[in-house]
Amino acid sequence: MPVLPVAADYPIHTPHAELIRDEAQAIAVAHQVAAVLLEHDAERDRTRQVPAEVVDLYSDSGLWGISVPREFGGAQVSYAVLAQVIAIISAADPSLGQIPQNHYCLLEDIRLQGTPEQQAHFFGLALQGHRFANALSETGGKNVQDIQATVRRAGDGYVINGRKGYCTGSLYAHWLAVLALDEQQHAQLAFVKRGTEGLVVVDDWDSMGQRTTSSGTVLAQDLRVPAFNLFPTHKSYDSPTLAGPFAQLTTAAIDAGIARAALRDTVQFVQQFARPWIDAEVEKASEDPLTIIQVGALDIRLEAAEALLERAGLALDAARPAPNEDNVAHASLAVARAKVLTTEIAIEASNKLFELGGTRSTLKKHNFDRHWRNARVHTLHDPVRWKYHVVGNWLLNGTKPPRHDWS
């Protein structure tokens, strides 16, 4: 007899979210929440445990609802501001910065493909503080688009069967969005309430980095879903939409936050604990001219990455009122450029911390390796080498970026 996975046990409380009304408030609240998350970031990484009150504080802050459209009661912050919010949180704790990343993408799916009735219902849940997590990807297929989960009509609803992996935020979620293919091989997205019979969340994420994202396994076993909860997500790629560049923008924002965290700890450690090299003939490591140069270089490259991230957000904002082939391609290209730099500075800054901090920066008590582990794992979301290809192919051949979640 096969051994069945053990369902995860995590306290899911009734949400009571604040309502954030504008962009200035969203940024201010992000800084307030980040200050709290930063306090025990290293310890949460070390233990792989996130207390329920921490996740509740985060979602009850109202930040998880800031992209809800104004006509449904949300602040509808710009894409540029949303990226800024994600980066602020991720600089404090990139694992917790990542758990609503798919939540925001799911809200975008609702905006793009939901009926007015569906939008009113699920946007209302988001404003109350309900947390949505993804059950989209699968492991073991030929590539990321090789989906085996099925959704089939059953009476007045549907039944889903399949095994999902990389389900970020699943342990903490009130709702899971399960991707499956119908009889026509069209991708359908089903929103399923936590605790529904046939939905099993398995807390088996054991990566070296982003350790508390709960990006593990979700099983759908004869999972019944009402027709009202189904969204034709395949339509988001049948015509030009911002679904792909939006997903990439939020991912790049997390990497920018990781880089900012690594540079912050590098500066503090060099100032307080690192020793200068003997040939520098200075009293403090912060006066070592070669250290000064490298810290300056890191800051400049991070500023460049953050500038391209903002520019990418603005490109999405410009395309949102009337997306078409050209402005969606422009947005995808802008995000590709940003993602190259956020990826590279996240890895570089988290590596330079040790070079400039010296041997004592590697002591376990500091847990600084979490920055490099987080950067190395999260930047594997999709290969940045293909971002160079996207940009070069556009410049040389006029080829528009492909339409999917990774472009």
- In this predicted structure, what is the pLDDT of residue 274? 98
- In this predicted structure, what is the pLDDT of residue 4? 58
> Which domains are present in the chain?
23-131 (1.10.540.10), 150-232 (2.40.110.10), 243-397 (1.20.140.10)
Q: Quick one: angle between helices 325-357 and 289-319, nearest 10?
A: 160
- In this predicted structure, what is the pLDDT of residue 1? 41
pLDDT in tens, 172-228: 999 999 999 999 999 999 999 999 999 999 999 999 999 999 999 999 999 999 999
- What number is the average pLDDT over the span 258-277? 98
pLDDT at residue 111 above 90?
Answer: yes
- In this predicted structure, what is the pLDDT of residue 5? 76
Distance CA 16, CA 52 (A): 14
- In this predicted structure, what is the pLDDT of residue 3? 56
Q: What does the block give as tokens for 328?
A: 């969606």
Q: Quick one: angle between helices 243-272 and 101-113, nearest 10?
A: 160
pLDDT-derived band of residue 141, with 50, 70 and 90 as boundaries?
Answer: confident
Task: Count Cα neighbours of 298 within 13 Å in the Cβ-side half-sphere.
Answer: 26
pLDDT at residue 75 above 80?
Answer: yes
- In this predicted structure, what is the pLDDT of residue 115? 98
To the question of pTM greater than 0.95 for the whole model, the response is yes
pLDDT at residue 53 above 80?
Answer: yes
Distance CA 52, CA 50 (A): 6
